[in-house]
A = this chain, B = another copy of it.
Amino acid sequence: MSEPQLKIILEAALLAAESPLSLDHLQALFADAGAPERASLREALAELARDYEGRAMELVEVGSGWRIQVREQYAGWVSRLWEERPGRYSRALLETLAIIAYRQPVTRGEIEEIRGVSVSTSIMRTLQDRGWVRTVGHRDVPGRPAMYGTSRQFLDYFNLRSLDQLPTLMELRDLDKVHPELDLRFPEEDSAPGVPEAADE
A contacts with B, residue count (CB < 8 A): 43
Could you show 18 A-B contacts with beta carbons less than 8 Å apart?
A8-B54, A9-B74, A9-B77, A11-B56, A12-B70, A12-B77, A15-B68, A16-B81, A17-B81, A21-B81, A24-B196, A25-B81, A27-B194, A27-B196, A28-B195, A29-B77, A151-B200, A152-B200
| CB of A13 within 8 Å of the partner chain | yes
Number of this chain's copies in the complex: 2
Given A8-B56, A56-B9, also A24-B194 (CB < 8 A):
yes
Contact string against B for A residues 184-195, beta-carbon threshold 8 Å, 1 for contact and 0 otherwise:
000000010111
Q: Which of B11, B71, B80 contacts A28 (CB 8 A)?
A: B80
A15 touches B70 (CB 8 A): yes
Nearest first, the 7 A-B pairs at minimum CB distance are: A25-B196, A12-B74, A12-B56, A11-B56, A24-B196, A16-B78, A29-B80
